[in-house]
Amino acid sequence: MDWAAFGVDLHLELDATAGRRAGLERALREAIRDGRLAPATRLPATRTLAAELGVSRGTVSAAYDQLVAEGWLVARVGAGTEVSPLLRAAPPPAAAPTGPVAPRYDLRPGSPDVAAFPVTAWLRATRRALTAAPASVYGYGDPRGRSELRSALAGYLGRARGVLADPDRIVVTTGYVQALALLVGVLRDAGRPVLAMEDPGLAFHREVVRRHGGTVLPLPVDDRGARTDLLGAGELAGVAAAVVTPAHQYPTGVTLAPERRHALTRWARDRDALVVEDDYDGEFRYDRQPVGAVQGTAPEQVAYVGTAAKTLGPALRLAWLVLPARLVEPVVEAKRHLDLHSETIGQLALADLITSHGYDRQIRAVRRHYRRRRDLLLDRLDAAGGRYRVGGVSAGLHALLRLPPDGPDEAALLAAAARRGLALGGLAAHRHRPGTHPPGLVVGYATPPGHAYPAALDALLAVLGAAEPG
């Protein structure tokens, strides 16, 4: 039975073996006992329920009276019959924890301060977008994404990141991971599945490539960024694509040097190869001029990937690919057969936010917010003696603390932090191969909510202080 007309959806299985009244009583008891009928839920009138069940009104009245007498129901004159508010469904048995326990202090990299999400501006953008939208937006859509968002992104990326973006070459995806998976699938299907990825880099992204049929080779990173001068020779002679983070390398934080940017695009032209440019936090810079996207200098060799995960929030699942002409159709077909198209309402809201310049205002606001956090981190480290060399802090949302050669072991520091309830990133977890990079801690200063950030820094300094010799 569907009680949708009464504000309650409940399915009752009536077993009339012992009579309809007894069957109705049993079904109602079971619904109350297992929580499908919550305390204080109002039941339908006897006449209405009798009509719905195909029984007499007297049968329903008798069943109600019996359950009132037993304390399952309460009947009030003029207010109808409801489940007794004193009843509580038996709690389910406690289950053993199945996932990791959340840390008390979270300084892991990779996430923004989600409390900075512009709720009011997003609501206004959504309201404006839906008010003007035709009914067709609620149907199936274009695998490339809504034209409103692609047009808005083309303008924004051109002026803010130096990207040469034609709306017809933009594909909206559900995050960076899907964008990377689509590109790997297209390369795999073309018989070119070998990719170079930065070392150190995010291990999860390497696994994404492997799970979609790609092969990963390490591309070393030093203080001038990825060693793009090594592409096309030795172990890297046969790679079809290089996945790089030129504006702010993850996790070292260095910027790709100009001569290496040239080497990267020259290699891609000469070898008919692809550069996958991950511009994950390109909007956040503090002590230097913005570094434009590599895509702007070689749009036919670079697949540019941007995302709203850091500027707004990862829950939106909104990212975008700006593609060379030859890859548009293969990627669109791959997207069509993967999930048909990305969610539409968020695309319309983001398009409105961009065209109304609310997106620019949000970026300026959080850029100031994260700079204050970065400055506080640096001030606290300096006050503690400045023994740890800090890198990668001219931009982005994380810092790299290089450990001194005579200092504590990276793994020991991470274990000590965990004992204090502090979560950090370690550089070792980002390496392709053990021992190929000096030890360090990757500290994300964007993640904690504002009220928790000073305490998180206290915990970090306590760990570092306890590790000092003597």
Query: DSSP assignment of 416-440, as one string?
Result: HHHHTTEE-EEGGGG-SSTTSS--E
Q: Tell me the pLDDT tens digit for each residue of 222-270.
A: 999 999 999 999 999 999 999 999 999 999 999 999 999 999 999 999 9
CA distance 82 to 39: 8
Cα separations (Å) of 451 from 163, 205, 357, 366, 424? 37, 31, 29, 16, 18
CA distance 254 to 393: 9
Confidence of residue 308 (pLDDT cuts 50, 70, 90): very high
CA distance 262 to 270: 12
CB count within 10 Å of CB 272 equals 10
Q: Tell me the pLDDT tens digit for each residue of 159-218.
A: 999 999 999 999 999 999 999 999 999 999 999 999 999 999 999 999 999 999 999 999
68 CB burial (10 A radius; 0-12, 13-18, 19+) = middle
In one-letter notation, the amino acid at residue 33 is R
Q: What is the CA radius of gyration of the chain?
A: 29
CA distance 112 to 398: 10
Alpha helices in 258-388 (DSSP H): 258-271, 325-339, 345-355, 358-383
Per the DSSP assignment, residues forming a β-bridge with 175 are none
CA distance 437 to 423: 21
Q: What is the mean pLDDT of residues 355-376?
A: 97
Q: What is the mean pLDDT of residues 282-296?
A: 90
Which tokens belong to 87? 């009843």
Could you state, in order of their start, the residue ranges of all structural domains in the chain? Answer: 4-83, 105-110+363-466, 116-360
Query: pTM for the whole thing?
Result: 0.85
Q: Among the listed ranges 321-330, 355-364, 386-395, which one has the minimum average pLDDT value?
A: 386-395
SS3 253: coil
Q: Which sign, positive or negative, has the C-alpha torsion 250, 255, 260, 262?
A: positive
Which architecture, in CATH terms, is 116-360?
3-Layer(aba) Sandwich (3.40)
Q: Tell me the pLDDT tens digit for each residue of 80-107.
A: 899 998 876 455 556 655 666 789 999 9
Q: Among the listed ranges 68-77, 170-179, 209-218, 418-427, which one has the minimum average pLDDT value?
A: 68-77
Cis peptide before 251 (omega within 30 of 0): yes
The pLDDT of residue 279 is above 70: yes
Cα separations (Å) of 31 from 9, 57, 92, 186, 415? 11, 20, 15, 52, 49
Which fold is adopted by the domain 4-83?
A: Arc Repressor Mutant, subunit A (1.10.10)
SS3 360: helix
CA distance 1 to 11: 5
- Say which residues have a Cβ less than 8 Å from residue 10's Cβ, sequence separation at least 6: 1, 3, 31, 36, 37
pLDDT of residue 1: 46
- Say which residues have a Cβ less than 8 Å from residue 321's Cβ, sequence separation at least 6: 170, 171, 173, 179, 182, 183, 303, 304, 305, 331
Which tokens belong to 163? 């990207």
Average pLDDT over the chain, rounded to an integer:
91
* Residue bearing the bigger pLDDT, 288 or 178: 178
Q: Among the listed ranges 6-15, 253-262, 273-282, 349-358, which one has the minimum average pLDDT value?
A: 6-15
pLDDT of residue 207: 98
Contact 432, 420 (CB under 8 A): no
> Looking at domain 105-110+363-466, what is its CATH homologous superfamily?
Aspartate Aminotransferase, domain 1 (3.90.1150.10)
In one-letter notation, the amino acid at residue 356 is S
* Residue bearing the bigger pLDDT, 16 or 257: 257
* Residue bearing the bigger pLDDT, 230 or 8: 230
